[in-house]
Structure 1
Amino acid sequence: MYHLKAMIAAAVIGAASWSAPLHAETPQNMLVVGFSMNNILTLDPAAITGKETVQVLANIYDNLVSLDPANRSEVTPQLAEGWVVSDDKSKITFTLRDGATFASGHPVTSEDVVWSLKRLMSLNLAQASFLKTHGFSADKADASFTAPDAKTVVITLPKKVDPELIIMTLGIVGPGSIYDSKTVLENEKSGDKGAAWLTTHSAGSGPFVLSEWRSNERVVLDRNDNYWGDKPAMRRIIMRHLAESQSQRLMLEKGDIDIAFSMSAADLKSLESNKDVRIETIGGSGFYYLAVSMKDEKFKNPKVREALRYLIDYEGLDKTVLPYFGKLRDRPIASGIFGAAPNAGYKLDVTKAKTLLAEAGYPDGFSTTLRGISDAPFLNLATALQATLAQAGIRAEVITGSGDQIYGAMRERNFELLVGRGGGGQLPHPDSNLRAIAYNPNNSDEAKLTNFQGWRTSFFDEKLNSMIDAAQVEGDKTIQTKLYGDIQKYYADVVPAIQPFSEVVDTVGVRADIKGLALNPSWSTQLRTVTKGR
């Protein structure tokens, strides 16, 4: 038995061995996960974008607080054992737990927390936008983040904002991730605050440490023996880049992997009757959407954008492409969140779209490009959209590729059409969706507000920004709910650059004997609780 497990471990770790016809269970103390790594570009929490990187880093870094996977409205302690909001709601005081250490063995102190938050703001990378939108900035960081003693962190709000939103934000992997400042600074080069080193290394206090990352191949996490919490059952987690859904399905069926995070609807459906596998689905974060670049002259015209709205087969995509991935939704606030309006009821209407295109000066349509990641379900979504666009004379060349190629072009504001996934929702508050998908406080190229999809699409509406700001700070819940209803109506009327057609749900395939897996709608699924019943 020992020799068999050793052979399996070797097969798991060796890149070339994955095609071998081995049919056996993974080792008892090793968890093997299959998913696509096309969108993993860095492992520095401050610089990340996309769901897949969060799934890795949630197991390496701790935050002050965490977002409960079952009750999304609940914030639970992590590195902070408790917190207090001042009576005037201008300060949040966190008290750190005793005994927490980083993987290096260094104790977690308030200085580390403050350094991590100041680093986030000073480097001004993608994840800084979560706090920047609420008035935090590099030049205000000294006043915003203070450490009166080794166990106390005080966050002073730079402008009026709901403190609960800030607390929730600090539970997100990225803006709330806490670094071992000593270890990072030991690896600093030319004043980069460890940015180059953290691309491929880790400095967290979570249950696992980064052992290896080979881009588009694998990530290996080893158990952190200095972890302050309950010891994880798994000695090692191996995350494999398996871009093909069928490969994930076959390996899950044979027991070569324990969890498959990114399979197609067809492969998930085929596993429903397999007694050795179970399918788990939970509400996710964000939307699937069709985005346009307002830098493109064609798409500046609201009639063209409105025509595109009627060239999406909402019901068809929901029934054929998005089972297990999404649920029909055409509003910018997720269903189930307070203030969410009912669906507008948009439908595929080619005749109406052709009329709008003719009124815009494009009676014969036009040629364009449509970008989408080559993973499920994006490629199928892009192909389906290409077909419905063609019915109105829009000839869209589909461009597929990795996350860097597709979302990289969007972050550079250098695209025409794009089918994507995003739009916030990691926090159970309407503001989380609207800040991500519609808000754009500075439309200049120099602003580089890459974590705002509104900025990426060059969509700017000052009135919409003001409406979002006003609703967020409204203290009367009844009035606040009405304000969010007004925002959704206005968003529809201006015909924005991003049209949602489905809200994300997350579905994974899991070996039946895996226990303790608690999928998190905010993507930060903790694998430290996983055990194997074998």
Structure 2
Amino acid sequence: MRMFRSRTTRAVTAAVAVGLIATGCASERGKDGDKGGAKDTFVFAGAGDPGSLDPALASDGETFRVTRQAFEALLEHEPGGTKLVGGLAEKWSSNPAGTVWTFNLRKNVTFHDGEKFNAAAVCANYDHWFNWKGTYQSSAVSYYWQAIMGGFAKNEDPEAPKANYKSCTAKDENTAVIEVDRPSANLPGGFSLQALAIHSPKALKEYEKQAASGKGDAITYPKYSQEAGTVAGTGPYKITKWNKGNKEVTLTRFDGYWGDKAKVKNLVFRTIDTEEGRRQALQAGDIDGYDLVSPADVKTLKGQGYQVPTRDVFNLLYLGMTQEKNPALKKPQVRQAIAYAMDRENIVKTQLPEGGKLATQFMPDTVAGWSDKVTKYSFDTDKAKQLLKAAGESSLKVEFCYPTEVTRPYMPAPQDIFELIKADLEKAGITVVPKPLKWSPDYLDATEAGACALHMLGWTGDFNDGYNFIGTWFAEYDKQWGFKDPAVFAAVTDASKQVDPAKRVASYKKANETIMAYLPGVPISSSPPAIAFGKNVNPPKVSPLTQENFAEVSFT
């Protein structure tokens, strides 16, 4: 999740000064304290605004953090882990070919608007997405549907992929059967995505009265997705208010929830777009928790009595190379020289929290398919110089884009990391031309369009399958990388077609070995992002997928 391309531009950064936010909520929390007794509102700060209250239209982590509390998918992940477990489906199975998926659904589940959850509701959702038209077919709007299920009943967008979704059948009240044309490595993991969470059929009918409009980054999202009142899921909280002026979304406990009821009545997500601002708000008592804690603040906060758990590693930071932007990068020796020139171990030691790891390939070692036999590129400035000389590029000059106004789980301090890499490359004789760009939309647009010769990006996995990492980048030609290598593409796509799990993992290992021999870019590191909570909070289990369930939160 948390896509690195322009599909993430809906996570708008806050424009309100942190001081004003802190002042406003301090008085509000004061009123809460005057009531006496247990607190009934938990306030959590993220780094960006959600883009939509309908998760099907989103692809960014800030949106999913909010919607995950209100919507549930057929499958989920075990609390604190990456193992798939039942969600709205208690059990699931597939035919040997991996093309027919049967879900045995939970009984006595009710949507926030009173509608009953059943197999017909599941099919209504999948058919709703499959029949999207117009702007809804833009990858900026329906990225995850296209990534998991392909295109639509009738593709209007020439860039839309071939549809893989075939049908959904309500076999009986509590059994839904979803068929696809071809087996996919994205299943069953894709059934756990927030973008494919289940909505009330009544709400879907209201959704269909509205339409998204526009193109590219000038997209207007339907009204229902931009204000509370229409969207309805089955989760432990229901969305009751979106105050865009104050950068806040409010959710209220759903007392008709089928499972364990939320322990705190009200849940508020607030945007504070700087690390320092989030930390100061926690220390001032204006919020009860926040995400993306600066590594430098972890020790300080713990010393002050705050709770700062770290998630398990499930992400990747890499240096991307766009070969079509700079012809020199088409030479294998140049790409290898850049890899050898980088002291990536130093980045891990100085820029990442404790538990950060050096990356040897384009997936973390916590993902099935990681290989210990890939070609490795250790830090060696002299070897980098030799390779540049052999390639006839001893005076190489390269533009290097890096993002500003952003913090990501895999990239806690973009400019600091950039400066370290820049210094390493210059020691090897490479002239670096810095190009700072605002994260959204400038940086994301530039990297998607292949406008940056060198750039830093990353990924936090959606589910534990290797294709969710390497398939994102190397299954086919991508402007971000600007290369066409049949061996790389075939290795990745062939692995994704393996139905047998053991054979698939073996194929992923071979694909990783093929990718690192070709070296389209340089994997840098994997980081365990920290999340902070107040001294009086019983926090939720933290998730390597950043899928925390805030219904677990309570106050001491």
**Within-5 A mapping of 1:110-509:** 110-121=119-130, 122=132, 123-124=136-137, 125=139, 132=146, 136-139=150-153, 140=163, 143-161=166-184, 165-174=186-195, 176-188=196-208, 191-192=211-212, 195-201=221-227, 202-210=231-239, 211-212=241-242, 214=244, 217-275=247-305, 277-298=306-327, 299-324=329-354, 326-342=356-372, 345-374=376-405, 375=407, 376-391=412-427, 392-422=429-459, 425-440=461-476, 443=477, 454=478, 456-474=480-498, 479-496=503-520, 498-509=521-532
> Is the partner of 1:270 in helix, strand or coil?
helix
Change in 2 beyond 3 A, CA 1:190/1:196: closer
Cα shift at 1:259: 1.3
Q: What is the letter of the counterpart of residue 55 of structure 1?
A: R
Q: What is the letter of the counterpart of residue 31 of structure 1?
A: F
- Measured in 2, the distance between the counterparts of 1:55 and 1:117 equals 22
Question: TM-score, length-normalised on structure 2?
Answer: 0.80
Change in 2 beyond 3 A, CA 1:16/1:205: same
> Is the partner of 2:222 in helix, strand or coil?
helix
- Measured in 1, the distance between the counterparts of 2:483 and 2:237 equals 40
> Is the partner of 1:272 in helix, strand or coil?
helix
Is the counterpart of residue 17 in structure 1 residue 33 in structure 2?
no
> Is the partner of 2:379 in helix, strand or coil?
coil
Cα shift at 1:352: 3.0
Cα shift at 1:218: 3.1
Cα shift at 1:372: 1.8
Change in 2 beyond 3 A, CA 1:16/1:420: same
Cα shift at 1:320: 0.5
Q: How many residues align?
A: 502
Cα shift at 1:67: 0.9
Contact 1:136 1:144 in 2 (8 A): no
CA deviations over 1:486-516 (Å, ceiling 9, x no partner): 22221111111x3211123221122233225
Is the counterpart of residue 517 in structure 1 residue 528 in structure 2?
no
> Is the partner of 1:144 in helix, strand or coil?
strand
Cα shift at 1:21: 9.5
Contact 1:144 1:158 in 2 (8 A): no
Cα shift at 1:19: 8.4
> Is the partner of 2:335 in helix, strand or coil?
helix
- Measured in 2, the distance between the counterparts of 1:462 and 1:135 equals 24
- Structure 2 unaligned segments of length 5 or more: list them: 1-17, 154-162, 214-219
Cα shift at 1:384: 2.3
Cα shift at 1:396: 2.9
Q: What is the letter of the counterpart of residue 64 of structure 2?
A: V
Question: TM-score, length-normalised on structure 1?
Answer: 0.83
Structure 1, 149-158 or 474-483: larger mean CA deviation: 474-483
CA deviations over 1:95-140 (Å, ceiling 9, x no partner): 3222322222222343432233344444443586656566643235
Residue matched to 2:106: 97
- Measured in 2, the distance between the counterparts of 1:209 and 1:509 equals 24
- Measured in 2, the distance between the counterparts of 1:89 and 1:395 equals 48
- Measured in 1, the distance between the counterparts of 2:445 and 2:52 equals 13
Identity of aligned residues (%): 21
- Measured in 1, the distance between the counterparts of 2:98 and 2:522 equals 35
- Measured in 1, the distance between the counterparts of 2:394 and 2:245 equals 45
Contact 1:113 1:153 in 2 (8 A): yes
Residue matched to 1:32: 43
- Measured in 1, the distance between the counterparts of 2:415 and 2:245 equals 21
